Amino acid sequence: MTRRYFGTDGIRGTVGQSPITPDFVLRLGHAVGQVLRQSGTRPTVLIGKDTRISGYMLESALEAGFASAGVDVLLTGPLPTPGVAYLTRALRLDLGVVISASHNPFGDNGIKFFSARGEKLPDEWELQVEAALEESPRWTDSLGLGRARRIEDARGRYIEFCKSTFGANLSLKGLKLVVDGAHGAAYQVAPRVFHELGAEVVSIGCAPDGLNINDGVGATHPQALVEAVGGHQADYGIALDGDADRLQLVDATGRLYNGDELLYVMVADRMAQGEAIKGAVGTLMTNMAVELALQARGIEFVRAKVGDRYVLEELVSRGWQLGGEGSGHLIALDRHTTGDGIVSALQVLQAVVRSGKPLAEWLSGVTLFPQTLINVRIQAGQDWRNSAALAATQEEVQSRLAGRGRVLIRPSGTEPLLRVMVEAEDAALSRSCAEALAAAVKA
């Protein structure tokens, strides 16, 4: 059975269009409830959300769907996605549910789920839910209906958890930080975490109105953070996305550090503390300079498919701790079960505080390779994988790169496009190789 509704990170779409409609979400809650009830016990689920205006509607629909299947519900209100994962595990609940479309604009929304252990659920579970959606609902009677209540201290619990991932003998005193909450789920939590650890905090993107999430602020619009760090003469700036599982970081000079670089710092800091790091996981898009820098330190590096869930799967299968994406999804399994923008920022700042070295010094030996990405439109069904011209060009390009660059050719999942990416130490070489490959595709 193929998945009809679930994508790589739950169910997502435009509000008011299928499947992000209240009637479908009610049925979804009921179907998930039926799957949970197969265990024979009365389940309890946790529902958190970001700050989109549509979150109220979808929360009510989900609550009704769960209640109609005899499932109890705990509501947190706005809370970062990793906060829901943490509380689900900490409170020994059966399921965590997040209503969010992450970095998308306010007109979108989505729903994703976490297991009782606070981990992303496997494809098999999603297929069970999709099968239950095809069945007729089995409404429970009044005696069996689920109950709902709000958790008043959800934010406080999560704040204390975040602080616990920072070195107990360390402090952020003396640092001035700009914290950009993207007008999203972390708008109340993030500034307090850094303030309570001793930093002087300037908040931006922390005034949601239901319509302004990710609008010109946050991890997907870091220029606002760069300007605020300069304007307030701060030491560092931290930008999260709408559901706060993604991180971008800026230093006092205005330099922006992406997830690839921050992953390297997290690995290097643990090595500096004498920890044995077996390996790290990136994705097909991770910059080759980071891969080479880690390998130079004896760290095995593995690439997963693009998407933090695939990074997580690779980490778990290998028993490793650290992985991430250039987009800022960073995972430290020795701190949390899922990617967490706040916790990741604390891991990086911990390295800076503990060593006394600024972030730029940590990365002094790592210069990201220039990347050239060209989208080439192809015909539906075009057999580009068996193209002799493309194969010959790719072999020629690999020879020119001589092990100091790489090629990635992959189809778009949503459009009839082939994405041609070339990395090389030299920008001109990267560009010319990518153009040669794109021309071969077109030919």
Both structure tokens of 207:
């005034």
Distance of CA 209 to the CA centre of its chain: 23
**What strands, in cross-sheet order, belong to the sheet with 176-180?**
200-204, 176-180, 236-240, 247-251, 256-257
Q: What is the CA radius of gyration of the chain?
A: 23
Backbone phi, psi, residue 375, to 5°: -95, 120
CB 80 within 8 A of CB 341: yes
Question: Is the distance from CB of 198 to CB of 164 less than 8 angstroms?
Answer: no
Whose CA is closest to 39, among 93, 94, 84?
Answer: 94
Tokens for 218? Answer: 């946050």
CA distance 168 to 335: 13
200's CB contacts (< 8 A; 6+ apart) are: 175, 176, 177
Q: How many helices (H) and strands (E) would you count in the chain?
A: 14, 18
* Partners of residue 418 on adjacent β-strands: 376, 411
Q: Is 387 labeled as catalytic in the residue annotation?
A: no
CB 204 within 8 A of CB 179: yes
Does the CA dihedral 242-221-16-27 come out positive or negative? Answer: negative
Structure tokens belonging to residue 416:
């009839």
What does the block give as tokens for 408? 């990635």
Q: Is 96 exposed, middle or buried (0-12, 13-18, 19+ CB in 10 A)?
A: buried
> Which member of 102, 115, 344, 430 is catalytic?
102
Name the residues annotated as catalytic: 102
